[in-house]
Chain A
Amino acid sequence: AQSVTQPDIHITVSEGASLELRCNYSYGATPYLFWYVQSPGQGLQLLLKYFSGDTLVQGIKGFEAEFKRSQSSFNLRKPSVHWSDAAEYFCAVAPNDYKLSFGAGTTVTVRA
């Protein structure tokens, strides 16, 4: 069965420290890959997406993600987090159309 896994339910990181959020998928072929962020009381905002080409993708707010086909992973990173990065982060995949499948999300807490 096709699935998206975010192994970390909750991550706490200090302001200024680096952040990495993990995402693994299980699909027959390489799907389209997305990372969304949801701030409290808000809808989801797209951070970045990967369709093909360079496996290191740059997104908004200083985020990047790396696609690793051999590991079926699409991990999200940020070198130095800001307090405003506290939010819930969702990895999503789409086989080849609009049918996004989301992971359960990772909540990020930023401590001063």
Chain B
Amino acid sequence: SQTIHQWPATLVQPVGSPLSLECTVEGTSNPNLYWYRQAAGRGLQLLFYSVGIGQISSEVPQNLSASRPQDRQFILSSKKLLLSDSGFYLCAWSVRRGERDTDTQYFGPGTRLTVL
């Protein structure tokens, strides 16, 4: 069966510090991968998605970036964190089959980031 991992689970960082959040998927190959952010009391906002190694699409202009160095690894980074980067970050994956992406996204346990 497929599983998705995220770490760290929680993180407290000062303003201006760098960030690296990691997401890995097991039990599948060539998945679509996604990074979402959920601010307090709000819904989910898609930040980045990737359909393959080295292929990253950004949905929201910001000081965050994403990379996919391996097929099942997705990393969210920042060189300098802002207060507004605080939130709950969720990674998700979905299966790709032929010309039609499968529809369902499965989420990881998330990382709670607090920027002070």
The finding on whether chains A and B are genuine partners in a shared complex, rather than unrelated, reads no
